[in-house]
Amino acid sequence: MSKQTPEGERIKESILGIILLLVLGCAFAGEFIGVHAFVGPTLLGLVLPDRSALAATLVDEVESFVTFAILPFFFLSYGLSTELHSINARAYFALQFLVPFGFSAKFLGITLVSVFYCDFVLKDAIILGLILSSIGITDVQFYRRSFQLELIDYRCFGVMITSSIVMAGFSSYVVKALYDPFRSVHNQEYVPSIINLLEASNPTRESQMCVNLLHLIELAAGVSPAAVHQSWETRYHRSLPRRHHPHVKPRHSLYKPTESIINAFRIFERNNESLKPCLIIIPIHIKWNSGGIATESPEFRNVNLKVIVNAPCSVGILVDRGSQGGPRSVQGCWCLYRVSVLFIGGPDDREAVSCATRMANHPHVNVTVIRLTALLEIADNTEEKRLDSVTIHTFKKTNVTREKAAYKEEILADSAETCNLIHSMENEFDLILVGRRTESPLLLG
């Protein structure tokens, strides 16, 4: 069925109907051969291919109906089967002594394993332990099956059902109190480069920076969204120094996968009403391996395009091609962190010069602005040209007198010479800032 569906298209309704009939057929077959009705559909679920369009479409079509229609009646039937008036104090306290003991043992085991073997923060390990220790549908069904097979009597069944309700309510309340849905979720790949960029931006006591982290995770088919805050010392970070800049104020937010990327910006505005973002930094959708071969992610590219079109402020695209050899820290290296700006003209290039002007005040950053001028460029007195000249004049007046700032002009004929100039800068700079929207003959071809 999956092979008959072209990639990127949804599964036909007829195929979904066949799968639902197979689920019912497997349930009846399980009851007929003497096992529980859950066994057949479970085995069928193992046969269905994971991370496929079939699984994703099946979840999208059935999940709401199961959650809001079938499950309430499922729990209602269990509540009607429970005879609370038949529970006596002796049976109640005897079982209530065992239930917290088993819950505590499972909770401690999960928490300790998460902390010592999975590098979880203690608070998140406690939340995970509470969630996994809670009694779910499978446990309740096990109680019901034991009651039907007369392994337990109606008094024991009633006590176990009420205990399940109490423990689930307790766990839900504690998790809600401990878990903050707007916490940060760390991604290891671009963290070193982003940290270097923030450090090079020279946050000071007089000019502090407020950083929001929005982490987007691609979920596999049928996987529920989850937020896990990993500690800094993970397997990707053990080689990096623990650094914390006192003038960078972290503010974190979590992107909910059920919402669109456009709504993610509304989440920022809703939870940070006093914060007006000035710049959004997103990683590029292209990745390079150790051999220099680039691979492109179409999904990631679509997300970046939506961010660029709908962002409430300027967007910077971060291209990191140096992480294979280990990123060089701005603070942790004795030599200067070399930053260059390729200035052709336009609002994006002017904003890049503004960022470089801020970086030039950093004691460990060396900034070089290179203005590229076309050989046959027509002179005009438009407002854009005037703003470009003012920006360059301000940079030279403010920074060129310093030893760690420089200004150069390059006159080029065409885009081929532009490419040669960029290639010659490969080993001279650690960071190059360029504008995105630039109409110039130096970029044609």
Instruction: Dump pLDDT digits (tens) for 416-431.
Output: 888 888 888 888 888 8
How many other C-beta atoms lie within 10 A of the C-beta of residue 311? 15
Least confident of 276-290, 332-346, 407-421: 276-290
Give the per-residue pLDDT at 68: 85
- Asked whether residue 182 carries a pLDDT value surpassing 50, the answer given is no
Each residue of 10-34: pLDDT tens digit?
A: 667 787 788 889 888 998 998 888 8
Residue pair 249/204 in contact (Cβ under 8 Å)? The answer is: no
Each residue of 388-412: pLDDT tens digit?
A: 889 988 888 887 767 778 888 888 8
Residue pair 157/134 in contact (Cβ under 8 Å)? The answer is: no
Give the per-residue pLDDT at 243: 46
Instruction: State percent of the chain over pLDDT 70.
Output: 71
Give the per-residue pLDDT at 444: 75
Question: Hey, what are 196's tokens?
Answer: 């270097």
DSSP H or E run through 38? none
Each residue of 238-272: pLDDT tens digit?
A: 333 444 455 455 444 444 443 444 455 555 555 54
pTM of the model: 0.51
Give the per-residue pLDDT at 187: 47
Mean pLDDT of 77-93: 75
Alpha-carbon span 127 to 135, nearest angstrom: 15
Give the pLDDT band (50/70/90) at residue 284: confident
> Is pLDDT larger for residue 170 or for residue 289?
170
- Asked whether residue 186 carries a pLDDT value surpassing 50, the answer given is no
What's the mean pLDDT when you consider all of the chain?
74
Give the per-residue pLDDT at 258: 37
Q: How far are the Cα atoms of 7, 334, 392 from residue 4, in angstroms, in the given order?
A: 9, 60, 60
Q: Residue 154 — left, alpha, or beta (φ > 0 → left; ψ -120 to 50 → alpha)? A: alpha
User: For the chain, how long is the longest CA-to-CA vector?
Assistant: 97
> Is pLDDT larger for residue 433 or for residue 231?
433
> Is pLDDT larger for residue 352 or for residue 310?
352
Q: Using only the alpha carbons of the chain, give its radius of gyration.
A: 30
CB hemisphere CA count around 273 (13 angstroms): 1
- Asked whether residue 226 carries a pLDDT value surpassing 60, the answer given is no
Smallest CA-to-CA distance from 247 within 275, 280, 210 is with 210
Give the per-residue pLDDT at 331: 58
Find where tokens 């069944």 sit: 157
Give the per-residue pLDDT at 112: 92
Alpha-carbon span 305 to 289, nearest angstrom: 23
Instruction: State percent of the chain over pLDDT 90.
Output: 2
Alpha-carbon span 409 to 354, nearest angstrom: 18
- Asked whether residue 92 carries a pLDDT value surpassing 50, the answer given is yes
Alpha-carbon span 371 to 164, nearest angstrom: 70
Residue pair 147/160 in contact (Cβ under 8 Å)? The answer is: no
- Asked whether residue 232 carries a pLDDT value surpassing 70, the answer given is no
> Is pLDDT larger for residue 334 or for residue 307?
307
Each residue of 94-152: pLDDT tens digit?
A: 777 777 788 888 889 989 998 888 878 888 888 888 888 877 777 888 888 888 888 88
Question: Hey, what are 344's tokens?
Answer: 């052709």
Each residue of 338-375: pLDDT tens digit?
A: 889 999 888 888 999 988 888 888 888 889 999 988 87
* Residues ≥6 apart with Cβ < 8 Å to 106: 129, 132, 133
